[in-house]
Amino acid sequence: SVSILEEKVAKAKELNVDIDPMILNKVNATTARLIAERNLQFQMEKVSVTASTHDDVKALEDQYIHKAKATGVAAQYTDIAEIYLDKMKRNIRSREILDLLEQYPIREYPEVPEPDPKNKNKAPPPPPPKKKKKKEPPFPMPEWAINLPVVEEEVSNLKKLLEDKEALELSDDFAARCKE
């Protein structure tokens, strides 16, 4: 551990042992690697995938994963961190898409009268003529939803993310909100 390495170097200096600079460099490199590995694991335990933010993603990526790779932390730890980072990014993306879709107001459509099963050949009576009303304002549409292909793409992306619901730790409530 880091403390053992530091204690041994301090003890050697107390005893006036002349330590080879190569050994000191290796001790420092090992200490840096162990600290980076510990910090990476701690950060991954501290941040939840479901509550992650863009700041958490940026911190994990820039401060912890890159530093761990630079100091030579074992690939198994950095690979796990990369997978965790990807889950965080996809979870955030799914929440953002749902927020966008929830901005889209629900349209109210008139009810279609059901045909009477006894009168199979007859069409339902036409609705009575409506009185002229004031012109309704145009349907409010969010800016991002002006182009239909963009909306369809976002819905498709959300469906793909929901397929991996367990891995992304998306709640059942979240999935139910997405289905609406």
Residue 168 predicted with pLDDT over 90: no
Q: CA angle 116-122-126, nearest 5°? A: 85
CA distance 83 to 89: 10
Average pLDDT over residues 110-125: 66
pLDDT at residue number 76: 93
For 12-36, what is each residue's pLDDT tens digit?
888 888 878 888 888 889 889 999 9
Tell me if 142 sits within 8 A of 103, measured CB to CB.
yes
Tell me if 37 sits within 8 A of 73, measured CB to CB.
yes
Helix, coil or strand: residue 121: coil
Helices and strands: H and E segment counts in the chain: 7, 0
Looking only at Cα atoms, what is the longest distance across the chain? 108
pLDDT at residue number 133: 65
Tell me if 78 sits within 8 A of 69, measured CB to CB.
yes
Average pLDDT over residues 57-79: 93
In terms of phi and psi (left: phi > 0; alpha: psi -120 to 50; beta: otherwise), the region of 163 is alpha
pLDDT at residue number 120: 62
- Mean pLDDT is lowest, of 7-21, 75-89, 91-105, 135-149, for 135-149
pLDDT at residue number 124: 58
pLDDT band at 126 (very low <50, low <70, confident <90, very high): low
pLDDT at residue number 134: 66
Claim: this prediction has a pTM higher than 0.75 = no
At 136, phi and psi to the nearest 5? -75, 150
